[in-house]
Amino acid sequence: MDNENEFTGADILLKALKDQEVDTIFGYPGGAVLPIYDAIFGQNFLKHVLVRQEAGAVHAAEGYARSSGKVGVLLVTSGPGVTNVVTGLTDALMDSIPIVCISGQVPSHLIGTDAFQECDTTGITRPCTKHNYLVKDVSKLSETIHEAFKIASSGRPGPVLIDIPKDVQFAKSKYIPKKDISFREHRIKAGSKNVDKNFVQELVNHIKKSERPIFYVGGGCLNSGPQASQEIIKLVNKTNIPITTTLHGLGCFPGEDKSSLGMLGMHGNYEANLAMNKCDLMINVGARFDDRVTGRLDAFSPDSVKFHIDIDQSSINKNVKVDFHTNTDITLTLKEINSFIESNNIELEKKDYTNWWSQINDWRKKECLHYEQGEETIKPQHAISRLYDLTSQKDTFITTEVGQHQMWAAQYYKFSKPNRWITSGGLGTMGFGMPAAVGAQMANPDSLVIDIAGEASFLMNVQEIATAVQYKLPIKIFILNNEYMGMVRQWQELLHGSRYSESYVDALPDFKKLAESFNAVGVRAKNISELDDAINEMVSIDRPVIADIWVDKKENCFPMIPSGAAHHEMLLSKYDKEKPENQEKGKVLV
Amino acid sequence: MSSTSVYPTPINAFKQSKRSVLSVIVDNEPGILARIVGLFSGRGYNIEALNVTVVDIKNNLSRITIETLGEEKVISQIIAQLEKLVPVHSATNLANLSESYEAEICLVKIEFDNNEQDQKILNFADIYRSRTVQKRQNIVVYEISGTSERINKFLDDLNTIGGIKVELVRSGPIGLGT
């Protein structure tokens, strides 16, 4: 008995996606999602991007989400389809990226029988999602999808998975639109909407009292929305307080501004880490005291009063004990701080922290990012600097893989706007950048999207170049090719007596020919005289391009706080003779 | 604050310890127990005891009571992590409440050989006001409830009697703030 108000599960999914204003979905078909693919075939609001492996779909969804501020969506089949996205889901969980993953499941009556392409999807993905569902009843499907989108994007964002058995995709029920769903507050966990006035007052009092304050800004500032970035710029300008950002905080504050100390942490700037070590007031805005940032915990910023704004309660006092904290949204809290300062006519301008800034400027004189570019071999740092100089006039989105090139990109490419920098920070997923560039280009069709890559990472998801070609996405893969897993080699050099065990990448493909075989374009720069031409050619071609940049094979990434060392125990360059104190202890750390 | 036993304890068996009892209200839905247990194992926390039952059929709520060990900082982190789970309504450390009651139930089966043992068992059973569930020939089954410490003390006392065989089951602590 057909009722015209009833739809199949597959159609309900499509209606819900439309209701959620989803216009792009990354996916790969298979047996357990064929009804959904059938529904996709007969519609035109949703653009499906066929990836070449499911890992590509999840990183593309992450790149889409990070570059657009919207929820990224992907669709995969049961069994191997969904196990292939486990890395990406974990990546999105670590880096707080809102994505919704739809997975097919074997029909309900086969669940538990070790059926073909069956796996315990909700069991496998439970620890790597913010939440997940197995939908056993089609009448619950609409509500589940809407709740999934709400959870993915609320509070601290993250990945949500919905597992839909094939029979549920065929079964019929009514569709419940988003507007008719009343969400239960305890499940959404959106964080408080009330600004903590005491926190704001305490903070302003401490700003007035402090001699050596610093803002320490993380990815939470990005996730709170572009307005958060505006508010932090306003606050820094008003207070003249120096600001350092984490890897994910890059772009929340203009990197070329005089108040910016750049990135902090393991490969952060000398002045940023020293300022963190010596400050008397630390204002943490949406960062989580990650081990890559803090260095040795018992020596982390010993003399500061610490304030922490983070929507995630579990980030408070997890690694570092703070003196004051609030769980209210960053934008709301920063707005209140700004208006508190304005409405009370608090004269902060007079307090320009002269001594503090002169101390910081002394640290800056170390020129921790200095490198010597010779006549012949391209220094990787120089390649990024030139890339920045030749592309910064455009609205450019940078994605990266993981390793030395990623840190050099963070150090030498300057970001002036949020959401332009898309990298795998928490999980450190090699192979992230190219599919993420596919996602970023889908979300920003008219912008320049560049994946700054290493040749080893690039090979991990190399198949996605076909996706870029199929959808005419003119992404640029800028490979700093040193024929090594550079960061592995660097650690082996520093901590394992230069025994380069398995870190040399032998039998590399000819990346130019590789590009051509995919119907993309390959360019190459073998030495310094070819670098600018290669970059300009890469940027000018309106097709996917792989640029193979041959760089100095032995270059290491400095400055560096070795594992187990503190902020003030940085290694400055390979010419620096000082060895870290805890080298043996550091060896067991990551 | 330590929880007060629902039964009086013969001697003060409370000791300073890093033990905490957490009371968690959750939506009763598939996978919720796995989420909680997975959170503990994944983050390296201990579960000493665990109790789960539906407590509100109308609203489909379960109460989960977890006994765990850890410094205060760790316990706060566990609570923050629990409260991040979507189906969790609230997670409370009973020790943080101004007043809370705690109880555990234990069934003890004791096999004995002689009258002297029987008398000693009876004596302890009387002191601890345990309820006789069954008694036949040389086997007796008691039910005892109260704080876990109280039950520990009872079992310690029983163990001073030589030559008896004890088999037992414990529910793990449950607790309620008032």
ipTM given for this complex: 0.93
pLDDT digits (tens, 9 = 90+) for B50-62: 999 999 999 999 9
- Parts of chain B belonging to CATH 3.30.70.260: 4-96
CATH code of the domain made up of B4-96? 3.30.70.260
Q: State whether the Cα torsion A206-A207-A211-A214 is positive or negative.
A: positive
pLDDT digits (tens, 9 = 90+) for A403-451: 999 999 999 999 999 999 999 999 999 999 999 999 999 999 999 999 9
Amino acid at A490: Q
> Which chain B positions have a beta carbon within 8 Å of A321's beta carbon?
73
Catalytic residue ranges of A? 54, 116-117, 166, 487
Could you give the domains of chain A? 6-188 (3.40.50.970), 197-364 (3.40.50.1220), 380-550 (3.40.50.970)
B58-96 residues labelled b (16+ CB within 10 A) or e (exposed):
eeeebbbbbbbebeeebbbbbbbbbbbbbbbbebbbbbe
- Parts of chain B belonging to CATH 3.30.70.1150: 101-177
Start-to-end Cα distance in chain A: 61
Share of chain A above pLDDT 90, in %: 91
Sheet harboring B61-69: ordered strands across?
B49-56, B61-69, B19-27, B88-93
How many cross-chain Cβ pairs, A to B, lie less than 8 Å apart? Answer: 40
Which pLDDT belongs to residue A579? 53
B107-137 residues labelled b (16+ CB within 10 A) or e (exposed):
bbebebeeeebbebbeebbeebebeeeeeee
User: In terms of CATH, what superfamily is B101-177?
Assistant: ACT-like. Chain A, domain 2 (3.30.70.1150)
Least Cα separation, residue A326 to chain B (angstroms): 14
Q: 10 Å Cβ neighbour count for A329?
A: 24
- Rounded mean pLDDT of chain A? 95
Q: For residue B87, is pLDDT > 50?
A: yes
Which pLDDT belongs to residue B1? 46
> Which chain A positions have a beta carbon within 8 Å of B34's beta carbon?
123, 126
Please give the model's pTM, rounded to 2 decimal places. Answer: 0.94
Least Cα separation, residue A473 to chain B (angstroms): 37
Spatial separation of the C-alpha atoms in residues A162 and A154, rounded to whole Å = 17
pLDDT digits (tens, 9 = 90+) for A299-329: 999 999 999 999 999 999 999 999 999 999 9
- A518 burial (CB, 10 Å; 0-12 / 13-18 / 19+) is buried
**Three-state secondary-structure class, residue A96:** coil
Q: Does B86 touch chain A (CB under 8 A)?
A: yes
pLDDT digits (tens, 9 = 90+) for A210-251: 999 999 999 999 999 999 999 999 999 999 999 999 999 999
Least Cα separation, residue B36 to chain A (angstroms): 10
